[in-house]
Amino acid sequence: ADPGPLQDFCVADLNSPVLVNGFPCKNPANVTSNDFFFDGLQKLGTVFDALNVNLTEVDVFAFPALNTLGMSMNRVQFHPGGENPPHIHPRATELSLVTEGKLLVGWVSTAYVLNWKILTAGQVFVIPPGLVHFQLNVGKGNALFYAFFNSQNPGISKLAPALFASTPLIPDPVLTTAFNVNKTIIDLIKSRASVLI
């Protein structure tokens, strides 16, 4: 969750050389209704990643009016078999609303309990902040969902690339110990992980 605003609005000046916790405000004298309007979701995305997902972020970077307002959203499209792989949002709770298809949604608590559900259109799942979660299209056709966050900039860290495709790489001994496997296995995963970023 983000801190609360100290004024009605603070449309982000994304080009400001000054960095604060969030962005400085564009001069309110130059703000119009158009600043509070985002029209980027009429058309579905056409570019899918290696895991058959198209993720469109409507965060403060895409929609500067969200600055200081503590909210944002994503649209996530899945081809059959598409997966939004295990990841965390360091700064937000997520509400996931499925609008099309059949999506397996799950998250793991700090007690390592998996909570999961298969969702269809009109159904919602909530993911507590900072916990590992994922979505997999388990239907025959495409799937679509919208995620809503209580942060203008929830952030995303995918576990597979965080552990196996960082720059520089995490040294093998750290990972062989952590995963209780040998170096051959770690190196194999590392050799395949960069496409997952």
Interacting residues with ligand GLV (CB under 6 A)? 74, 76, 84, 94, 133, 135, 147
Q: Least distance in Å: CB of 74 to Mn ion?
A: 7
Q: How far is Cα 146 from Cα 123, in angstroms, rounded to an integer?
A: 11
Count the helices and strands in the chain (H runs, E runs).
3, 10
Q: Which CB, 10 or 152, lies closer to ligand GLV?
A: 152
- Token pair recorded at residue 180: 């209780």
Q: How far is Cα 6 from Cα 10, in angstroms, rounded to an integer?
A: 9
The site partner of 103 among Mn ion, ligand GLV, none (C-beta below 5 to 8 Å per kind) is: none
Q: How far is Cα 75 from Cα 55, in angstroms, rounded to an integer?
A: 6
Q: Residue count at the site for Mn ion (CB under 5 A)? A: 1
Q: Which CB, 11 or 57, lies closer to ligand GLV?
A: 57
Binding mask 90-119 for Mn ion (x = CB under 5 A): ----x-------------------------
Footprint of Mn ion (CB under 5 A):
94
